[in-house]
């Protein structure tokens, strides 16, 4: 479930508002978007993936809200982890390029 929009990282691009399939966010003039309908979040991580500055944190718990601390998320490297692991963002290697399972298909009948 979406738990955090980092005010210190957010660049107010509102991409998260546009990509959210369940309309969880509300755009706010000259401010980061607000999490307006948290219970509608489907924990799809699309907002976190599309955020160009890793300002969002979606907790993997889909059915319950969990308390998060932005400082802890930054220090532990959790803020932006999902996007990083998939290779989204400038200077990152897309995970599809690291995929090795296709090598096994040449051995199948």
Total-model pTM: 0.82
Token output for 104: 């096994």
Q: What letter does residue 9 receive in the DSSP assignment?
A: T
pLDDT for residue 5: 97
Task: Enumerate the H helices of 1-109 as residue ranges.
Answer: 15-19, 46-50, 70-75, 81-86, 95-98, 102-105
Distance CA 18, CA 46 (A): 10
Query: Higher confidence at residue 105 or residue 67?
Result: 67
The alpha carbon dihedral of 77, 24, 60, 42 has a sign of negative
How confident is the model over 64-102, as pLDDT tens digits? 888 999 999 999 989 988 888 888 888 888 877 777 776
**Distance between CA 29 and CA 49 in Å, rounded?**
23
pLDDT value at 104 more than 80:
no
């Amino acid at each position: 479930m979406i738990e955090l929009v980092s005010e210190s990282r957010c660049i107010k691009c509102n991409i998260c508002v546009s990509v959210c399939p369940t309309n969880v966010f509300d755009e706010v003039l000259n401010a980061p978007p607000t999490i307006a309908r948290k219970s509608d979040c489907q924990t799809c991580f699309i907002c976190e993936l599309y955020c160009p500055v890793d300002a969002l944190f979606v907790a993997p718990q889909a059915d319950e809200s969990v308390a998060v601390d932005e400082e802890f998320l930054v220090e532990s490297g959790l803020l932006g982890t999902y996007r990083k692991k998939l290779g989204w963002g400038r200077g990152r290697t897309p995970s599809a390029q690291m995929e090795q399972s296709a090598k096994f298909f040449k051995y199948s009948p």
